[in-house]
Amino acid sequence: MAPSMESQQQDQQIPLEGAINGNASVNNIIPVALSDDEVPQKSRVTVVGSGNWGSVAAKLIASNTINFNSFHDEVRMWVFEETLPSGEKLSEVINRTNENVKYLPGIKLGQNVVADPDLEHAVKDANMLVFVTPHQFMEGICKRLVGKIRKDAQAISLIKGMEVKREGPCMISTLISEILGINCCVLCGANIANEIAVEKFSEATVGYRENKEIAEKWVRLFNTPYFMVSSVQDVEGVELCGTLKNVVALAAGFVDGLDMGNNTKAAIMRIGLREMKAFSKLLFPSVKDNTFFESCGVADLITTCLGGRNRKCADAFARNGGKRSFDELEAEMLQGQKLQGVSTAKEVYEVLSHRGLLQLFPLFSTVHEICSGRLAPSAIVEYTEHSARLPLLEGSAHLN
């Protein structure tokens, strides 16, 4: 649940002698001097990543740290340094203009956001680390941070994707926890970054393992009047929803690119949600059914299939008959941002292939085979001489 105004006020209260002694008289209330051990330590926040979503995350967080006494005002944002066409460094321009002119142009981030191209310096002294980079870079980033972060640090991942290793799939939150030795929550939801940047109403879900108090601290850090955040005790469920919906969004984009219509697209989304749920429970039986009805689940699936970058590039891929690669379309259409769906589809395919379950997930399987050029985009819906059928119908009865 989002914090109430009462809890926000409590976040800023200082103990008073009169209040402690139960004396309600305002005249008798005397501030109490706290020892160094008793003074609550302010949390320092660093955002690791500065793309479109990373910049929006920094904006959200900065609007709250400046108002809560429990956080230091300054929010550091690690920037993968780039040289702009003007010859200037991206981090220098962000700090001079208070705007990420490449990935979030026209939006002020907040005067308390500081761009830092030095990863180790950016995380120094921070005890709240927000990871928001393309998932394929996370293992390398985490290895660079070993021994460089505070022992009491807490992390949250806003990353959509997973790593597939020889021993099996590894969620990004697990990768962060295992490499850095720290607890990691996740945040996912129906969050198209550009809409949140201009403060259009949106929701998100924080997934946590055991410590609800830490989860609520993350909720307080992100929650604003236009960005409503709740929490659920289901890290894997929240994270897999955010990961797998990008694969379904590719399928929705193929449908759009082939002008198959809204009925077909709705069917693809419904079937995709079934496969998302089945795959999640295959990997983690503890995943909760209710998680799929949170913002991280069906809401994120809908918005990504209607307006996300994966849908957009898949639409273009289909309209070009699969003759232009996703790498080419990504470079042309996303201005440096990265697609997540294509790599995730490959990773999901590898997991299913290894377990001999491809036939039970024909939508996921078909998406990867289209992306890799084995099938034409039109294969997302297969036609027979008698009737049209969607791929999942062959195995759908086994997915309950």
Has residue 243 got a pLDDT over 70? yes
pLDDT of residue 16: 35
With a cut of 50, say whether residue 110 has pLDDT above it.
yes
CATH at residue 84: 3.40.50.720
Same domain, 218 and 341: no
| Rounded (10°) angle between helices 326-333 and 309-319 | 120
pLDDT of res. 77: 98
Number of domains in the chain: 2
pLDDT at 400: 39
140 is in an annotated binding site: no
Residue 222 domain-assigned? yes
Question: Is 160 marked as binding a ligand?
Answer: yes
Percentage of residues in the chain having pLDDT higher than 70? 85
Give yes or no: residues 145 and 278 share one domain.
no
The pLDDT tens digits for 282-327 are 999 999 999 999 999 999 999 999 988 899 999 999 999 999 998 8
Alpha-carbon distance of 354 to 348, in angstroms, equals: 10
80 is in an annotated binding site: yes
Nearest to 164 by CA among 353, 18, 4, 22: 353
Residue 293 marked ligand-binding: no
Task: Pick the more confident residue, 6 or 338.
Answer: 338
pLDDT band at 167 (very low <50, low <70, confident <90, very high): low
Residues 102 and 208 grouped into a single domain? yes
Residue 146 belongs to some domain of the structure: yes
Ligand-binding site membership of 331 (annotated)? no
Neighbours of 119 (CB within 10 A): 17
Checking if the pLDDT of 394 tops 90, the result is no
The answer to whether position 200 is within a domain reads yes
For this structure, is 281 an active site residue? no
Report if residue 7 sits inside a domain. no
Is position 287 within any domain? yes
Looking up residue 319, the CATH number of its domain turns out to be: 1.10.1040.10
Q: Is the confidence at residue 7, as pLDDT, over 80?
A: no
181 and 245 in a single domain? The answer is no
Do 246 and 206 fall within a single domain?
no
- The reply to whether 187 and 161 lie within a common domain is yes
Q: For residue range 81-105, what is the model confidence (pLDDT) as tens digits?
A: 999 999 999 999 999 999 999 999 9
Is pLDDT at 252 greater than 80 in this prediction? yes
Q: Which of 233, 266, 300 is the last residue of a domain?
A: 233
Residue 47's pLDDT is what? 98
Query: Per the annotation, does 309 bind a ligand?
Result: yes
> Does 189 show up as a binding residue in the annotation?
no
User: Does residue 37 form part of some domain?
Assistant: no
What's residue 40's pLDDT? 63
Per-residue pLDDT band for 156 (boundaries 50, 70, 90) equals very high
**Same-domain check for residues 227 and 245:** no
Two structure tokens written together for 82 = 């780039």
- 228 with 245, same domain: the answer is no
Smallest Cα–Cα separation from 100: which of 188, 187, 197, 223? 197
Query: Does 54 belong to an annotated binding site?
Result: yes
**How many other CB atoms sit within 10 Å of the CB of residue 27?**
7
Catalytic option among 245, 265, 277, 288: 245
Segment 206-215 mean pLDDT: 96
What is the predicted pLDDT for the residue at 384?
31
pLDDT digits (tens, 9 = 90+) for 175-200: 999 999 999 999 999 999 999 999 99
Q: Is residue 259 part of a domain?
A: yes
Co-location of 54 and 194 in the same domain: yes
- The whole-chain average pLDDT of the chain stands at 86
pLDDT for the residue 337: 73
User: Is residue 186 domain-shared with residue 242, that is, in the same domain?
Assistant: no
Token look-up 């200037």 returns 88
The domain boundary residue, chosen from 233, 253, 275: 233
Mark which of 212, 233, 254 sits at the end of a domain.
Answer: 233
Q: How many residues in the chain?
A: 400
What are the backbone dihedrals phi and psi of residue 181, each rounded to the nearest 5 degrees, phi first?
70, 35
Determine the structural domain holding residue 355 and report its residue range. Answer: 238-379
Q: Is the pLDDT of residue 31 over 80?
A: no
DSSP category for residue 298: I
Domain membership of residue 126 (yes or no) is yes
Banded model confidence at residue 272, pLDDT cuts 50, 70, 90: very high
Given a cut of 90, whether residue 49 has pLDDT beyond it is: yes
